Amino acid sequence: MVPPACLHQVLLSLVLILTSAMSLGARQEPPTAAEQQIYTEYIQWLASVPPEQRGPDMAPKYRQALAAKGTPAAEIERRLEIVDREGQRMEVARWNTFFTADRPRFNLAPNAFLIQIAEKRTPGTALDAAMGQGRNALWLARLGWQVTGFDPADQALDVAQRAAAALGLTLQTVNARFETFDFGENRWDLILLSYAGCTGGVVEKVEKGLKPGGIVVIEAFHEDAARQFRIGGSICATGEPPHAFRGLRTMHYEEPIAMPDFGAQPMRLVRYAGEKPRP
Ligand SMILES: C[S@@+](CC[C@H](N)C(=O)[O-])C[C@H]1O[C@@H](n2cnc3c(N)ncnc32)[C@H](O)[C@@H]1O
């Protein structure tokens, strides 16, 4: 979930790779000096790992590295928890800054693939997962959808709510993460994952959360883009969504080279829309 446009900080994006793969709760208060030190040591270790050995979940490797240095098991887990928590805190801060910047570095317009898929559908309940500042949620709400969106970046949610109020629209916004948001059961006519990762950890939640006849819409970076540009977080492998969403009927699938909503030049993307069959 790291747009190329804001990837000046390689290490930070690597941290996000670790943190997005772990699922401990975020804490609001700033870290102590000792916790900061633990986090710094993790960053230093990460910088020493050859790029080809880095992956979406660095926790097992870091566990091994600490164990090899003789760190007791309980201390290893304590450190991993601190690294995870601090990474989450920094990620929220980074997205808050990104979405409240004076000069936006992303496409402020609603996602074109969402428009293509959703504009002819009858409005119902929509979930905008990792909604950011709400460009897509607002477009859906304007068409009459009842929209709920969640994101851990509280200031981005505030931007969305202010825009909704200015437009006389209603949005339900929830300060939550994929790991904590309850998708419910048979609840949504549309679930959107726009630059919000690929299928990792969400397949069951999406398939259960959709109403029969409901659809999921995904636009994400393809792994080819990640080979060319520094993109952290969850990206899509070739053919991944149609393969992963076994309970859905593929309505649309493509892997075009196109201009991403987050990024300054064309790259390979993944666009997927799948429908939950009616019984
Ligand atoms: C590239 S932005 C996409 C925002 C929005 N979906 C859009 O297309 O405009 C990625 C979003 O993912 C959010 N995010 C990062 N980690 C997350 C997590 N674990 N759970 C939910 N959202 C997360 C960020 O706060 C950010 O708003």
Rounded to an integer, what distance in angstroms lies between the CA atom of residue 198 and that of residue 218?
7
Is residue 27 scored above 90 in pLDDT? Answer: no
- Alpha-carbon radius of gyration of the chain: 19
Render pLDDT for 160-209 as a digit per residue (tens, 0 to 9). Answer: 999 999 999 999 999 999 999 999 999 999 999 999 999 989 999 999 99
* Under 8 Å between Cβ of 150 and 86: no
**3 state DSSP class of 72:** coil
Total H helices, total E strands in the chain: 10, 8
Compute the average pLDDT of residues 60-79. 97
Cα–ligand 1 centroid distance for 70 (angstroms): 37
> Which pLDDT does position 23 carry in this prediction?
31
Of all protein residues, the one whose alpha carbon is nearest to atom 22 of ligand 1 is 130
In this structure, which topology does domain 112-275 adopt according to CATH?
A: Rossmann fold (3.40.50)
- The more confident residue out of 227 and 252 is 252
Give the pTM: 0.87
Rounded to the nearest integer, the mean pLDDT of the chain is: 89
Ligand 1 centroid – CA 1 distance (Å): 6
- For the chain, the domains span 4-100, 112-275
- Interval between CA 238 and ligand 1 midpoint (Å): 22
Nearest Cα residue to atom 14 of ligand 1: 130
pLDDT tier at 15, thresholds 50, 70, 90: very low
Where does the pLDDT of residue 55 fall: very low under 50, low under 70, confident under 90, or very high at 90 and above?
confident
